[in-house]
Structure 1
């Protein structure tokens, strides 16, 4: 099954156009598939977002995008690739995705923040895609956004700094940002 969905790009589009592009995406219904666990995929997603199979990086971005569409996180925190007939474990070192680009429109409560992911997907930060600051023993606080099916994207340092600049400029207390009608604190554990 070839990957037919090109990556969503933020450059030159409004957040309304971004939302339309997101709405047009058709992702497999992995939340409805519950096959028996078959084993290990021998895949690993490194902390930097690189996908590996049998220890070698997967160099074809279209292949990574395809695999990312059938990935989900199980209630026990493990990650699996799921099809209607099989379920295979995937090792994930930090998060399944990375948020790599940000676009903001509006101010304060009327602000919307769009993010693109290293998988070629995109989302609008809001109630369906909440931001949280996790404590990550490896590197301190880790800003993360819920993507889908329990999967998260870690925000790049540059995006986190952009959000911090917005929070400081707007004087929010506690420091945080609004997006799509929801307030998100930038403080760990808050």
Structure 2
């Protein structure tokens, strides 16, 4: 990513104002925006889903949800994007955490941002890692993933049934997802 911005406090304030305008309800249409890159901000999403600014936790959940609504991934890089600017941030693993799931005919996940997502077309459950250390993820939107937390993964594993290859799998929205890496 590029260099740090000169005035991070001003940039964050402007970013917040622009984000509020751009994302009145739910995630903003960041996939439609391609503003100029304005540099990096010292914002990091840690592996546990917590957001930090200048090394300090962002303690306002509504601000974190606002930033999450303007998050965009391009290749391996993550940005906060408004129609007028794009700033780089760091993400340790996945930007979101799937913290719960309602398991029935379909599997509906809830993320740490309060979004509900039905596993299915466009929202695949993917297994990464190894058999000894599986890492389950849910595709949220546009290349953004949620790590499925341990308690939720255990519940999914208990509900799984063997597929035609004998692998533990879940069905949701007409699709089958393996729970083995």
TM-score when scaled to structure 1? 0.78
> Corresponding residue for 2:85?
86
Long gaps (5+) in structure 1: 4-24, 106-110
Shift of 1:77: 1.2
> Corresponding residue for 1:187?
180
Alignment of 1:97-136 (within 5 A): 97-105=96-104, 111-135=105-129
Counterpart check, 1:60 vs 2:60: yes
> Corresponding residue for 1:7?
none
Note if contact 2:103-2:156 (Cα within 8 Å) is conserved in structure 1.
Answer: no
Aligned equivalents of 1:147, 1:26: Cα separation in 2: 13
Match of 1:174 among 156, 167, 179: 167
Aligned equivalents of 1:155, 1:53: Cα separation in 2: 24
Shift of 1:135: 2.1
> Corresponding residue for 1:11?
none
TM-score when scaled to structure 2? 0.82
Alignment of 1:156-171 (within 5 A): 156-167=149-160, 170-171=161-162
Shift of 1:101: 1.0
Aligned equivalents of 2:26, 2:57: Cα separation in 1: 27
> Corresponding residue for 1:44?
44
1:46-96 residue CA offsets vs partner (Å, 9 max, x unmatched) = 01111000000000000000000000111x211110001111111000100
Aligned equivalents of 2:59, 2:98: Cα separation in 1: 19
Note if contact 2:27-2:68 (Cα within 8 Å) is conserved in structure 1.
Answer: no
Count of aligned positions: 158
**Does the residue aligned with 1:66 lie in a helix, a strand or coil?**
helix
Shift of 1:113: 0.6
